[in-house]
Amino acid sequence: MNLPARVACIGGGVIGAGWVARLIENGLDVRIFDSAPDARQSMQPVLENADRAYARLTMAQRPVKGQLQFCSSIADAVNGADWVIESVPERLDVKRSVYEAVEAHAPQDCIIASSTSGIMPTDLQQDMQHPERLIVAHPFNPVYLLPVVEVVGGKGTAAESIERAQAFYASLGMKPIQVKREIEAFVADRLLEAIWRESLWLIKDGICTTQELDDIVRFGFGLRYAQMGVFETYRIAGGEAGMRHFLAQFGPCLTWPWTKLMDVPEYNDELVDLIAGQSDAQSGHLDIRELERIRDDNLVAIMQALKANEWGAGLVLADYEKALFDAGARNTGAVDALDFSQPVQTTQRRIPPDWTDYNNHMNEARYLQCFGDATDAFLRMIGCDAEYIASGGSYFTAETHIRHLDEVGVNEPVNTQTQLIAGAGKKLHVFHSLYHGDGRLLATGEHLLIHVSLQTRAACEPSDAIVQKLAMITDHHARLPVPEGAGRFVGQPR
């Protein structure tokens, strides 16, 4: 199934900007239309926060960031688009007018995805010429980090559109969940609405403050929900007997008058002043951008911890990271198409903020990171990819020598050029040169690797396919001069 190459976004508010950020961070070019005169300025902090978060999210090389183009009309934005994401205000008449303009100017086979948080897709489709291509893809803020997206089809939605949506959002590092039957507010917002209503009563009745309620969530069941959700959490609460015992023990509580979910406190100035005042006291000393960065840092840390434990959202991150690593080698699987008359480019990136020291220069450990990533990319080029490793073979690094020659600062561009020194038998000898975008040589890294069997942990010959690729590259690189610095040892005089 072909994934979209050209994406248009209509609406650049909090959700629309989040979509744009996730898309361009994944290397997709985006054209956007937003009627607000300050749309460009208001979106910029979201894009900057996303860039900051992705620098910490994964150790894989990030794709080259996609380009963002602001358009003066819906027609200009959707012309030639494969995918259109609508994130305009939650008014049915406004959304329908957007679809009318999209259908008049977009290709007939492009998908139209609404970010609505509660309007049923059948209602959205009512006046469309091609309702089969409309879906709801409801994300959660921040869209560029939280992986879940609710995919909902209406009565006129084609099954193929749902399938395309599942594949597309998974390719963006997301967890698409198909809501089997359309319903107002779908699944997640119904759950959120329940806790929100009960929270309003608890504050209004003076049971607790906004700070205390938030603390109960974030220091208590919120931590459980982040990794196990509702039902798995309660399964554990049932002990050895599991969910059946939990239901038997706590089921009768459902008839007790604990909740006011069927009632809503009167929405008046008094309630607004009470909640807003407590919220200001709780976190008014932090501006919204600072709160967003704190939120993003915590989400990244939680997802990385879950990845280490192979659980929940961490599994989605692991799959996404694996895809990034596999894509990190240029033209993976097409080595014959590369030009080996010169050292081959294996990585290209900008230096993330957290790679730097107190002088805002990249610290010495990250030089090794750059060379390790270059080695991984080269291994994928010769066929030592995830599939090969799963089959039982891999290369282990035996020796490394790095020369630190120049400094590089935060957000500056670098690339790595790799030359094969020797690749016969069990040994693989590579030499990496790390260059600044302006052409300066920043460092060199020389690595000796040994091919091993992951079953016996002993050295062994690589596969015939890898041997053939290495022989071809060796034939080309043997004609290159030996790189300056190759074979040096620590302390050797210049």
Q: What is the mean pLDDT of the chain?
A: 92
Buried b (16+ CB within 10 A) or exposed e, 345-382: bbbbbbbbeebbeeeebbeeebbeebbbbbbbbbbbbb
Which of 49-58, 177-186, 426-435 has the weakest average pLDDT?
49-58
* pLDDT value, residue 385: 85
Which pLDDT band, with edges at 50, 70 and 90, does 328 fall under? low
Give percent of the chain above pLDDT 90: 73
pLDDT in tens, 284-310: 898 888 999 999 999 998 998 999 889
**Alpha-carbon distance 368 to 144, whole Å?**
28
Contacts 24+ apart (CB under 8 A), 192-198: 194/261, 197/260, 197/261, 197/264, 198/259, 198/260, 198/261
pLDDT in tens, 383-401: 998 889 999 999 999 999 9
Q: Which domains does the chain have, with CATH numbers?
A: 6-186 (3.40.50.720), 189-285 (1.10.1040.10), 329-477 (3.10.129.10)
Buried b (16+ CB within 10 A) or exposed e, 437-448: eeeeebbbbbbe
* pLDDT value, residue 340: 86
* pLDDT value, residue 91: 96
DSSP per position, 266-307:
--SHHHHHHHHHHHHHHHTTS-HHHHHHHHHHHHHHHHHHHH
Rounded mean pLDDT of 333-340?
64
pLDDT in tens, 86-131: 999 999 999 999 999 999 999 999 999 999 999 999 999 999 999 9
pLDDT in tens, 236-287: 888 888 888 888 887 777 777 777 777 888 888 998 899 889 999 998 898 8
* pLDDT value, residue 332: 42
Q: Is the pLDDT of residue 223 over 80?
A: yes
Which of 318-322, 331-335, 354-358 has the weakest average pLDDT?
331-335
Closest CA to 397 of 420, 372, 380: 372
Looking at per-residue pLDDT, the higher value among 26 and 334 belongs to 26
**Alpha-carbon distance 265 to 250, whole Å?**
27
Q: Is the pLDDT of residue 331 over 50?
A: no
How many CB atoms within 10 Å of residue 112? 27
Residue reference for tokens 């993003």: 296
| 8 Å CB contact between 113 and 135 | yes
* pLDDT value, residue 454: 95
Give percent of the chain above pLDDT 70: 98
Q: Is the pLDDT of residue 59 over 80?
A: no
Q: Is the pLDDT of residue 74 over 70?
A: yes
Rounded mean pLDDT of 357-368?
90
Distance of CA 179 to the CA centre of its chain: 22
Which pLDDT band, with edges at 50, 70 and 90, does 333 fall under? very low
